[in-house]
Amino acid sequence: MLVGARVAQGAAAAVVMPASLALIRQAYPDPRARARAIALWTVGGSVAMAAGPVLGGLLTDLAGWRAVFLLNLPVGAVILALLIRVPRSPRRPAALDFGGQLTAVLALAGLAFAVIEGGHLGWTSAPVLAAAALALASACAFCVVEARHRHPMVPPAMLRDRSVAVALAVGFAVNAAFYGGVFLLGLYYQQLRGMSAIAAGLMFVPMSAVVTATNLVSPRLSERIGRRPVIVTGQLVFISAMLAMLPLAAHTPVWLVLVLLLPLSIGGALAVPALTALLMDAVPPERAGTASGLLNSLRQTGGALAVALFGGLLSGPGGDFSLPGMRIGLLAVAALLLATAALARLLLPRG
């Protein structure tokens, strides 16, 4: 039942996130105003990140983990009340691309299963290899289906646009780094340092404050020097965050841990508003929802795969926290960010 409810919750979030960004594209036709609105949109995630671990830890300690899911009820009610004041969006006919939907789901599900179970069952085990083969075959089938469909879910021409393709790749890498880092730190605080759930949650509050402030700075910085330098710089800062966490150990002073987390707080907060605004400007208004859905799908996939990767690497003998596994994961994510930073530097317009 829990797994089924989580599937429903994920499906609902997958509908809400792209629609919210498409509403911003509709409400702010001016690119400069839209960039600042997107920055405020990203701040919402920062505030949630600050409040989520603290409230989650508090509820888990006081009422059990089941109480965590009640947090969504009042938030959802407030959002519904606010949406009443939003003008209706224009509608246009769109055929359902069932083949594209099915092959995309199979590709992502196969990839996620292979990464999650690879660390437990072994990378050469039959289920993992079968899932990887399913992901590859489904991805190839997706490309064929989209190329032949009259009204494809993801128009191939959109992906051939350099700005779109690079923004999607950077979104994947940035979320892999951020959510992988947050997941790693949560286990580090509780398993290696022996902190309670509440104490571990409180450790993320300073980081979230820095993220929120940097989100608001990003669009103004983009206006001054262009989006490409901001996106590249954000990824380079993220790389420094991955490398800065390599020396973490059980007895690293808490103040030093917080200092080392500054690059993790700043990197994504610089890059995400700029790359999101770049993507929204690169597509026509009627494709804003599609572009937003693609970006959020790849960002969530990057985060999920990073969590799965770190989950396998951080599990040492006897279930203990593995410092060598942590360092391997950090270096892998740093290499991914270096590749996408190079792509952004070479292929994106300066703006």
Task: Give the pLDDT score at 94.
Answer: 65
Residue pair 306/333 in contact by the 8 Å Cβ criterion: yes
Task: List CB contacts of 255: < 8 A, sequence separation 6 or more.
Answer: none
Residues linked to residue 321 through DSSP beta bridges, in sequence order: 315
**Token couple for 46:** 């920062």
User: Where on the phi/psi map is residue 194: left (φ > 0), alpha (ψ -120 to 50), or beta?
Assistant: left
Specify the pLDDT at position 343: 94
Contact between 203 and 195 under an 8 Å Cβ cutoff? The reply is: yes
Per DSSP, helices labelled H in the chain are 2-27, 31-63, 72-83, 98-121, 126-148, 156-159, 162-187, 197-202, 205-225, 227-244, 254-260, 262-282, 288-313, 323-347
Query: What's this model's pTM, rounded to 2 decimal places?
Result: 0.82
The residue with tokens 């020396």 is 247
Nearest Cα to Cα of residue 274 among 241, 307, 320, 227: 227
> Which residue, chain included where needed, has tokens 């289906």?
145
Q: How far apart are CA 130 and CA 98, in angstroms?
A: 23
Who contacts 82 (Cβ-Cβ below 8 Å, separation ≥6)?
Answer: none
Question: DSSP class of residue 89?
Answer: P
Say how far apart CA 28 and CA 51 lie, in whole Å: 28
Position 82 scores a pLDDT of: 84
Hey, how many other C-beta atoms are within 10 angstroms of the C-beta on 246? 13
Could you tell me if 151 and 94 are in contact, meaning their C-beta atoms sit under 8 angstroms apart? yes
Q: What is the pLDDT of residues 310-332, one digit of tens each?
A: 887 887 776 778 888 889 989 99
Residue 249 burial (CB count, 10 A): 10
How many H-runs (helices) and E-runs (strands) does the chain carry?
14, 0
Closest to 271 in 3D by CA, of 301, 230, 241: 230
> pLDDT value at position 117?
80
- Residue of 351, 170, 162, 335 whose CA lies nearest to 243: 335
pLDDT below 70 — which residues of the chain? 46, 49-51, 53, 92-95, 119, 318, 351
pLDDT score of 50: 60
* Other residues' Cβ atoms within 10 Å of the Cβ of residue 242: 26
- E-strand spans in 37-86? none
CA angle 217, 173, 46 (to 5 degrees): 40
User: CB of 45 within 8 A of CB of 207?
Assistant: no
8 Å CB contact between 348 and 162 = yes
**Minimal CA–CA distance to 137: which of 108, 116, 107?**
107
CA pair distance 306, 183, nearest whole angstrom: 9
Are the beta carbons of 108 and 300 closer than 8 angstroms? no
